[in-house]
Chain A
Amino acid sequence: MLRPYLPILIIFIVGVIIPLAALGLSALLGPRKATKRKLVPYESGMNPIGPAMQRTPVRFYVVAMLFILFDIEIIFLTPYALYFRQMGLFGLGEMGVFLAILLLGFVYIWRKGALRWD
C-alpha cells in the first residue's frame, strides 16, 4: 500500500545524504593548511578594514525597501509598454489603478519622512 510513496522516501534519504556527504567528505579529505591570509574574514577579495561588528544605520534598509517598491513598478510597466496598443483602454485603466496604489504608497512614505536622510 505504501509502495507508491517509495520515491518520496528515496528523495528524502538522498536529500539527507548529499549535504552530509559533502560536509563529511570535505572534513575527512580536505587538507587544512591555515595561513594568515586564509584566516582573514572574507570581504569580496578586499583587505578588511575595521571590525565586522559595527553599527549600520538602518536608513539603508528603508531605502532598500523603497527600491524594491519602485523596482516592481518598472517590472510591471515594461511588458505593459510593449503591449500598450493592443490592450487599449482596458490596459490603461488597469495600469492606472496599479500606479494609483503605488503613488499612494509614495505619498505615504513621503509624508512619514522616510525619504529624509537625517
Chain B
Amino acid sequence: MPFNPPSIDLTVLGMPALLMAWGMLVLLIDLFTSNQRVLATVSLIGLIATAGVGLLTWGTQRTAFFDMVVLDNFGTVVNWILLGATALSILLALDYLPRQNLMRGEFYALLLFATSGMLLLVQANDLVMIFIGVELLSISLYVLTGFAVPRISSGEAAMKYLLLGAFAAGFLVYGIALIYGFVAANDAISSTSLTAISQDLAAKQAAGIAINDPIILTGLGFVLIALGFKVSMVPFHAWTPDVYEGAPTPITAYMSVTTKGAALVAIIRLLTVAFAALRPEWQFIFAILAALTMTYGNIVAIAQKNLKRMLAYSSIAHAGYMLMGVLSASPLGASAFVIYLVAYALTNIGAFAVLTTLENRGMAALELQDLRGLYRRHPWLSVAMVIFMFSLAGVPLTAGFMGKFAVFQAAWDADLKWLVLVGVLTSVISAFFYLRVTVQMFMEEPVSAEAAERPVFATAPLVVGLTIAVVGIIILGVVPSQVLNFVNNTVVAAAR
C-alpha cells in the first residue's frame, strides 16, 4: 500500500508552532541560566516574533491538515490580542515572582505553552483540534495555578481546577463522540472538521432528515458545557473564584483574559461554522445562560471583600457580556466580541497589575480595605486603578464602554432586545462595586498606621505594563474609530 503523506502547510500553523518551539527554547535556556530577566526577555521576543508571523500570513485564508486548522484574519487578530495579553502578564510577573520567592524557570516556558495552546484553539477547525487546544492550555494552566505552592490556597486552587477541568474534558470528549456518531451514522463522511459537519447537516436537511436529533443536540450541549467551563459561563463557573484567588496574581490576570478569549473563539467557530443550521435550538438557551452569567457575576461580586475574588466574579460577568457578542452569531457579533476582548484584556490585566504592585511577600490576600488611602501613598497608581475600574464598569470615554456598546449593538441587531436590557441593568449594578474601590482609595483613611506605610512595588516593568494598559484604554475609549474600523473590516471580511 503506497503511503501518501498529508499536504503539510506549516504556514497555517505558523503562530502556534513557532510559539511552541520557542517555549521549548525557553525551557532549554532555563537549564543554563538562573537569571529570570533573560528568560522573560527571551519569552517576550518569542511573543513578538509570533505576532510577526501573523503579519506575514495576513490576508490569506486557507485550511490545512485535512481541514483541521484554519488561518484567517479573524483568528490572527484574536491571536494578536492573546499574545499581547501574555506579554503584559510577563511584565506583571517579572518582579512579582522573585518578591514572592517563586523563581522557577518553568514559569515562562509554561506560559508560552499555554499561549500556544490558545492560539491552536483559536485556529482550530475540527472538534479534535479544539480538544487538543483546550488540553494544552489547561494542563499548563493547572501547573501555573499551583505555582505559589507553599501557599495552601494555591495548591488548593490547582487541585480544584485540575479535578473540575478533567471532568469538563470528559464532557468535551463525550460530546465530540456523540456529534461524530450522528454525523457519520449514515454516510461515508468520516471527519470531525467543522466544515464537514456543516456540509453533512445540510445534506441531511436536504434529504429530509430531522437534524434536531437528540443525539446531536446532546453532543453539542456537552461540547458547549466543556467550553463554557473554560469561559466560566454561569452554571459551570463554580471553580472561578477559588482558582483566581489561589493562583499567583499575574497568572490570574493572564488566564482571566486569554482562556476566555480563546474558548469563546472556539464557540464562535463551532456555532457559526458547524452548527449554523441548528441556530433556533441553541440561540435561546445561550441567551438565557448569558443573562444568568451577567446577573450572577455582578450581583455576587457586590458581597466580596477580597479584591481578587471580586475581580473573579466580575470576570464571570464580563464573560457574559462577551457571550452576547458570540451568540449573536453574526459578523457584527464576532467583531463586537473582538472589540470587547481588547478592552477587557487591557482593563483586567491593568487592574490585576495594580493588585500586583500592592501584594507583599507572604500576604495572604488583598482585601478591599487595604486600598484605603492609596491616593496618599501612590497617587498615580490610584488614578490608573480608577481608569481600570471605570473601564470595567463601562463608563463612557473608556475602552470598556466601547466594548459594551459593540456587544449590545450586536445583540440588538440579532433581535435579542431583552438580553440588551439585562446587560444594561447588570452594568448599572456593577458600577456599585467598581466605584466602591475608588471610594476606598480616595475618600477613606488607612485602617492603621502600619497599613499607611505599606510599600508599593511599582517597579519598571509594571509601570510599563500599566502605562500600556492605560494608554490603550484611553485611545480605544476616546478615538475608537480606527480600531473599530480595522476590526470590523477584518472580521466581517473573514466571515464572508
CB distance from B478 to the nearest CB of A (A): 47
CB distance from A81 to the nearest CB of B (A): 14
Interface membership of A14, Cβ < 8 A: no
Q: Is the CB of A86 within 8 A of B24?
A: no
Stretch of B1-9, B143-151, B189-197 with 4 or more beta carbons under 8 angstroms from chain A: B1-9
Known: A4-B213, A8-B214. A101 touches B5 (CB 8 A): no
Q: Is the CB of B31 within 8 A of A111?
A: yes
Contacting residues, chain A, for B214 (C-beta < 8 A): 4-5, 7-8
Contact residue among B2, B3, B28, B213 (Cβ-Cβ distance under 8 Å from A107): B28
Q: Is the CB of A86 within 8 A of B2?
A: yes
Interface membership of A67, Cβ < 8 A: no
Known: A4-B213, A101-B24. A86 touches B31 (CB 8 A): no
Contact residue among B5, B31, B218 (Cβ-Cβ distance under 8 Å from A108): B31
CB distance from B16 to the nearest CB of A (A): 14
Name the prevailing secondary structure of the A interface residues: helix
**Nearest chain B residue, comparing its CB with the CB of A83:** B3
Q: Is the CB of A90 within 8 A of B31?
A: no
Interface membership of B27, Cβ < 8 A: yes
B26-44 interface (Cβ within 8 A of A): 27-28, 31
Contact residue among B27, B31, B218 (Cβ-Cβ distance under 8 Å from A8): B218
A83-105 interface (Cβ within 8 A of B): 83, 86-88, 90-91, 101, 104
Contact residue among B1, B5, B27, B213 (Cβ-Cβ distance under 8 Å from A104): B27
Q: Is the CB of A88 within 8 A of B28?
A: no
Interface membership of A112, Cβ < 8 A: yes
**Nearest chain B residue, comparing its CB with the CB of A111:** B31
Contacting residues, chain A, for B213 (C-beta < 8 A): 4
CB distance from B65 to the nearest CB of A (A): 13
**Nearest chain B residue, comparing its CB with the CB of A88:** B3
Contacting residues, chain A, for B28 (C-beta < 8 A): 104, 107-108
CB distance from A94 to the nearest CB of B (A): 9
Q: How far is the CA of A7 from the CA of B215 in the complex (A)?
A: 11
Q: Is the CB of A107 within 8 A of B31?
A: yes
**Nearest chain A residue, comparing its CB with the CB of B31:** A111
Q: How far is the CA of A88 from the CA of B3 in the complex (A)?
A: 9
Q: How far is the CA of A5 from the CA of B24 in the complex (A)?
A: 48
**Nearest chain A residue, comparing its CB with the CB of B32:** A111
Contacting residues, chain B, for A91 (C-beta < 8 A): 3
Q: How far is the CA of A108 from the CA of B29 in the complex (A)?
A: 10
CB distance from A50 to the nearest CB of B (A): 29
CB distance from A95 to the nearest CB of B (A): 13
A20-73 interface (Cβ within 8 A of B): none
CB distance from A85 to the nearest CB of B (A): 9
Contact residue among A4, A83, A90, A108 (Cβ-Cβ distance under 8 Å from B27): A108
Q: How far is the CA of A8 from the CA of B217 in the complex (A)?
A: 12
Contacting residues, chain B, for A7 (C-beta < 8 A): 214
**Nearest chain B residue, comparing its CB with the CB of A110:** B31
Contacting residues, chain B, for A87 (C-beta < 8 A): 3, 5
**Nearest chain A residue, comparing its CB with the CB of B218:** A8
Contact residue among A4, A83, A104 (Cβ-Cβ distance under 8 Å from B24): A104
Q: How far is the CA of A111 from the CA of B106 in the complex (A)?
A: 13
Q: How far is the CA of A4 from the CA of B218 in the complex (A)?
A: 11
CB distance from A99 to the nearest CB of B (A): 13
CB distance from A116 to the nearest CB of B (A): 15
Contacting residues, chain A, for B5 (C-beta < 8 A): 87, 90
Contacting residues, chain B, for A8 (C-beta < 8 A): 214, 218
Contacting residues, chain A, for B27 (C-beta < 8 A): 104, 108
Contacting residues, chain A, for B3 (C-beta < 8 A): 83, 86-88, 90-91
Contacting residues, chain A, for B24 (C-beta < 8 A): 101, 104
Q: How far is the CA of A87 from the CA of B24 in the complex (A)?
A: 27
**Nearest chain A residue, comparing its CB with the CB of B20:** A101
Q: Is the CB of B1 within 8 A of A86?
A: yes
12 A–B contacts from the bound complex (CB under 8 Å):
A4-B213, A7-B214, A8-B214, A8-B218, A83-B3, A86-B1, A87-B3, A87-B5, A88-B3, A91-B3, A104-B24, A107-B31
**What 7 pairs between A and B have smallest CB-CB spacing?**
A90-B5, A86-B3, A111-B31, A4-B214, A5-B214, A87-B3, A104-B24
Residues of A within 8 A of B (CB): 4-5, 7-8, 83, 86-88, 90-91, 101, 104, 107-108, 111-112
17 new A-B contacts at CB < 8 Å, known A90-B5, A101-B24, A108-B31: A4-B213, A4-B214, A5-B214, A7-B214, A8-B218, A83-B3, A86-B1, A86-B2, A86-B3, A88-B3, A91-B3, A104-B24, A104-B28, A107-B31, A108-B27, A111-B31, A112-B31
